[in-house]
Structures are given as structure tokens and as C-alpha cells.
């Protein structure tokens, strides 16, 4: 499994919006500037998140985007599954794949299923709230 820039940027944007949620609707340009992401590319990511109910968008003056729920209600897994379409390590485990003719005799299938379960459980155990305001390396220096 390789997470694309779309998935990584979606996480960055969701964390950014979570950290600025008290400001109401956040303009696309502000988020794009803070995250150093092209506005055009970001529009595509945000449309996926709005379409799937993770964000609310408002057009016009005072418009922008905001989370529809509290940051602790969003998991990394749910965001990545939307933007990546699948987190499966092999195609035979993807939800829309055809049944593999070798599935009954596949000796590696249980291993792939175990990895898939571990990845999904791990990513579903991390929320946006967990990723907000984390200390940056070097911020914990004490004299």
C-alpha cells in the first residue's frame, strides 16, 4: 500500500481545518497557502470530502470550508479510504475486485488478510484530534 499525494494532502487539510475550526469557514486560499498545496489540486480533494459529508463548503464572501463534526470523530482510515479508494495491500482484497480463482488454495491469502486488518485497525485508531497540535521536533527542549 502506497498512500498518494491526494491522501497525504487530504490528511494535512483536515488537520489544518481542525486546528482552525474556531474561525468558522476557512477560505480555500488560506488553507492552500498554509499547507503549500496548489489551490486547483486542493479543490479536487475538498470536493471529495464535501461530497462524502466530511466537510461543509460555503460559497461567496465569508465562505470556505469547515469540518462537519468534531475532530475526534474523523479517523485517518476513513479519510484515506475516501481519497485512496482502498487501503488493501493486494488487489484481491479490494471491495470491488472479482473473486480470485486461486483464493481457495492461496497460501498467502491469510497473511494479506492479516496485514489488511492491521493497517485498517491502526489507521482507524488515530483521529484528527490525535494529530492536532503535536509537538514539533525540538520543541521540547528544557533548561
pTM, full prediction: 0.86
Cβ atoms of 137 and 78 within 8 Å: the answer is: no
Q: What is the pLDDT of residue 102?
A: 85
Q: What is the pLDDT of residue 62?
A: 85
Fold of 1-135: Arc Repressor Mutant, subunit A (1.10.10)
Chain-centre distance for alpha carbon 109: 27
Q: What is the pLDDT of residue 37?
A: 96
Write down the domain spans for the chain: 1-135
pLDDT in tens, 60-106: 888 999 999 999 999 999 999 999 988 999 888 888 878 778 888 89
Amino acid at each position: 500500500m502506497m498512500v498518494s499525494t491526494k491522501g497525504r494532502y487530504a490528511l494535512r487539510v483536515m488537520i489544518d481545518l481542525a486546528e482552525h475550526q474556531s474561525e468558522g469557514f476557512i477560505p480555500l486560499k488560506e488553507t492552500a497557502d498554509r499547507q503549500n498545496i496548489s489551490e486547483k489540486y486542493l479543490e479536487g480533494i475538498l470536493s471529495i470530502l464535501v461530497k462524502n459529508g466530511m466537510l461543509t463548503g460555503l460559497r461567496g464572501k465569508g465562505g470556505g470550508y469547515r469540518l462537519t463534526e468534531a475532530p475526534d470523530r474523523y479517523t485517518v482510515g476513513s479519510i484515506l479510504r475516501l481519497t485512496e479508494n482502498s487501503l488493501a495491500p493486494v488487489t484481491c482484497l479490494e471491495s470491488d475486485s472479482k473473486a480470485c480463482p486461486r483464493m481457495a488454495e492461496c497460501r498467502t491469502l491469510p497473511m494479506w488478510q492479516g496485514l489488511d486488518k492491521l493497517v485498517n485497525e491502526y489507521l482507524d485508531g488515530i483521529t484528527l484530534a490525535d494529530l492536532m497540535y503535536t509537538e514539533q521536533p525540538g520543541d521540547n527542549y528544557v533548561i
